Amino acid sequence: MTKTPAKPANAIRAKPTKPRREKAAQGRMSAQPEPASEPPSGRVARAAERREAIIVAAMEEFVGRGYAATRLDDVARRAGVAKGTIYLHFKDKEALFEELIRTAIVPLVNRIVPPANPGGSVRDMIELFARAFIQEVATTQRADIIRLIVAEGPRFPAIADFYYREVVSRGLAKLRALIELGIARGELRQPELAHFPQIVVAPAIVAVIWKSLFENHSPLDALEMFRVHLDLIFGERRTT
């Protein structure tokens, strides 16, 4: 995409040779076992480890500076890897970014959606659902991932699509089912709510944004806000 004009290729590589000496020390002597994640010894394991490190580093950089302003040099440095290594694992900056979002989102969804709680009230189920979301996202720096998606989504349709497919439509479908169950059971008396499950999660979304932008201006108790919201939806609250 980037290049239109023909590439002049490389003319005469000057002196690429450079005594690489001290660098060896930085490599791995066989004697010392690693600090944290032990010596994987297998080449593949090592590679996977580095790939992981790159993703983690890239996450921090992209979240902190946005897509365009992030330098791959910084990502490499943070990952403790040379820039070229990034390109062994990802086609280009964009591929890294998209892959990043994917690997961040999937485990997030799995952690939140599953609780297919057995026989509690619908309110309890929704509360669990939302509580998990708020605790796993709004409270942590994972909120910034959401902000990143909102910020860059329109420029990366692949990401917006993926996010819609894997998170939004799935979550809303689940929510809608719960709402319908609540209506059938008489816990909920607003049948039209099933058309707009977004209303149920709206305060959680707002909490995420609030945390990112205004937390230092005025902190927000997301969980308490959500409880009040549920009182609105389900009528008077049972004692807590």
Partner DNA sequence: TGACAATGACTGACCAGTCAGTCATGTTTT
Partner DNA sequence: AAAACATGACTGACTGGTCAGTCATTGTCA
Residues that bind DNA (CB under 7 A): 1-3, 5-11, 13-21, 23-24, 27-30, 41-43, 46-47, 50, 70-73, 80-85, 87-88, 92-94
State the binding partner of 10 from its own copies, DNA, none, CB within 5 to 8 A by kind. DNA
Q: At what angle do helices 122-133 and 222-234 cross, to 10 degrees?
A: 160
* Sequence letter at residue 98: E
Sign of CA dihedral 64, 105, 93, 42: positive
Q: What is the C-alpha separation between 123 and 96, in angstroms, rounded?
A: 40
| 164 binds its own copies per the rule CB under 8 A | yes
| 41 binds its own copies per the rule CB under 8 A | no
Residue from the set 50, 51, 123, 229 that interacts with its own copies by CB under 8 A: 229
Query: Which stretch in 25-33, 51-59, 101-109, 150-158 sits in contact with its own copies by CB under 8 A?
Result: 150-158
State the binding partner of 84 from DNA, its own copies, none, CB within 5 to 8 A by kind. DNA
Closest CB 45 distance from its own copies, rounded Å: 33
State the binding partner of 99 from its own copies, DNA, none, CB within 5 to 8 A by kind. none
CA 223 to chain centre: 21
Measure the CA angle with vertex 158, ends 66 and 59; round to 5°: 35
Query: Which stretch in 99-107, 110-118, 128-136, 225-233 sits in contact with its own copies by CB under 8 A?
Result: 225-233
List of residues contacting its own copies (CB under 8 A):
1-6, 65-69, 93-94, 144, 147, 149-155, 160-161, 163-164, 168-169, 190, 192-193, 195-196, 198-199, 201-203, 205-207, 209-210, 212-214, 217-218, 220, 224-225, 228-229, 231-233
